[in-house]
């Protein structure tokens, strides 16, 4: 009998430990706040058994105006509290869903170091840039107090120093670093050299996710524009987006991502870039853009299950393709990985193998609502990729609209 009681006690302890572990895991998976449509209670489509603990939450949901907020404790079946979160009340929003390709032309706020090269001097090989402590991805903001907006500014400042050391102001991961660089004289040309290659602009293609014609702003790409050589996000000075035509594609394969190929049409730019951030590219439009109007879903309304993406693989007309949202992460630290999406459409799989570079920004739609956008392809499985929540992109677009105003 004693042995039986000990076993029961051990089982009870194990069950309690598992339950506590499960609640702790749940707690970590929930964000600290949710955007909740005005007049609605907080409900999680992915976890319908997780509901507000107290009736007061439902009462607050009915009377809190847009822009207001209230606390709500989420619980298992209304019995076991899990986490108290903030419900931020918002009005339902509709945007025009695009899925069209767009060209990006961007000038950096400084000259980014993308490569080093040794210089042959009268006394041997030297690399002043490395010796000064410069690193790939550093952005040279000024030389001797003179702003360096482009490549020519850097070259002219080095030549003007005529062999004396120059003082660099460098942006390194958001921090200002001061360095001293001693140019050397090229034995072949006689010119003063710094031993580095810099880049001041970038161009490419992506997919336009949505436009809010009412406020005159757009959102696209779902991730930042980065330098091709260093992988660093480009600090924006100015930029614009323009129409492009998709002329072909390279199909993706395991370990070898494919890509869309396109060309700028030569038409006038359709908008300006105001934000190059980790959730995408945002700015103002210069004309009304066409597409299908859809309600933007809140993050907690996104479900695992059937979905569609809208993307363009030929010309400039987007098409719908079937997909499945395989995973939804509400509290993902990386906003570009809120979802895992798998392409199931036979036509798209046969053509491109799934997701390819250039599709970033392709809208993801579920239950006739815009739920997100494609951001990245899984290198070892081009049928799958990551997605970002549409509510995240819309929030950044609103901030861009305020910046424009």
Residue with tokens 């040309």: 189
Going by DSSP bridges, is the β-strand pair 363-366/280-285 parallel, antiparallel, or unpaired? unpaired
The two tokens of residue 31 are 């964000």
Is the Cβ–Cβ distance between 346 and 372 less than 8 Å?
Answer: no
Is the Cβ–Cβ distance between 297 and 391 less than 8 Å?
Answer: yes
Q: What is the DSSP string of 21-86?
A: HHHHHHHHHS-SEEEEETT-----TT-TTEEESSHHHHHHHHHPPTT-EEEEEEEETTTEEEEEEE
Torsion on CA atoms 318, 321, 327, 328, rounded to nearest 10: 40
The catalytic residue positions are 223, 345, 360
Residues 150-163 as b or e (16 or more Cβ within 10 Å = b)? beebbbebbeebee
181 conformational bin, left if phi > 0, alpha if psi -120 to 50, beta if neither: beta
- How far apart CA 211 and CA 219 sit, in angstroms, is 6
């Amino acid at each position: 009998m004693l042995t039986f009681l000990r076993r029961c006690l051990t089982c009870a302890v194990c069950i309690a430990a598992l339950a506590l572990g499960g609640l702790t895991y749940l707690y970590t998976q929930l964000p600290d706040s949710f955007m909740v449509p005005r007049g609605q209670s907080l409900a999680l489509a992915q976890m319908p058994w997780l509901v507000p603990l107290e009736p007061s939450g439902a009462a607050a949901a009915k009377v809190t105006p847009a822009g207001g907020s209230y606390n709500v404790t989420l619980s298992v079946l209304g019995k076991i509290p899990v986490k108290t979160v903030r419900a931020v009340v918002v009005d339902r929003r509709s945007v025009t869903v695009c899925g069209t390709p767009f060209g990006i032309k961007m000038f950096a706020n400084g000259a980014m170091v993308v490569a080093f090269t040794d210089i042959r001097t009268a006394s041997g090989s030297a690399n002043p840039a490395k010796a000064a402590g410069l690193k790939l991805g550093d952005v040279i903001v000024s030389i001797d107090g003179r702003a360096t907006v482009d490549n020519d500014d850097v070259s002219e400042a080095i030549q003007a120093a005529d062999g004396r050391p120059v003082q660099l102001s460098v942006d390194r991961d958001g921090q200002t670093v001061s360095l001293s660089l001693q140019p050397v004289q090229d034995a072949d040309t006689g010119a003063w050299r710094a031993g580095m290659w810099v880049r001041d602009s970038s161009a490419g293609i992506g997919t336009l996710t949505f436009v809010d014609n009412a406020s005159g702003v757009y959102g696209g790409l779902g991730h930042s524009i980065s330098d091709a050589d260093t992988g660093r996000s480009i600090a924006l000075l100015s930029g614009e987006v323009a129409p492009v035509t998709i002329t072909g594609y390279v199909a993706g394969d395991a370990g070898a991502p494919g890509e869309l190929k396109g060309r700028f049409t030569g038409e006038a730019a359709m908008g300006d870039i105001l934000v190059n951030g980790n959730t995408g590219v945002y700015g103002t439009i210069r004309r009304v853009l066409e597409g299908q109007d859809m309600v933007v879903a809140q993050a907690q309304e996104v479900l695992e299950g059937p979905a569609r993406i809208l993307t363009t693989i030929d010309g400039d007309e987007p098409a719908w393709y079937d997909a499945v949202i395989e995973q939804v992460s509400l509290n993902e630290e990386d906003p570009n990985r809120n979802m895992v999406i798998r392409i199931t459409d036979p036509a798209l799989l046969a053509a491109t193998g799934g997701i390819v570079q250039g599709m970033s920004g392709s809208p993801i739609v579920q239950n006739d609502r815009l739920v997100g956008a494609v951001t990245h392809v899984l290198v070892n499985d081009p049928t799958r990729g990551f997605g970002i929540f549409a509510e995240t992109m819309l929030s950044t677009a609103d901030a861009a609209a305020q910046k424009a105003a």
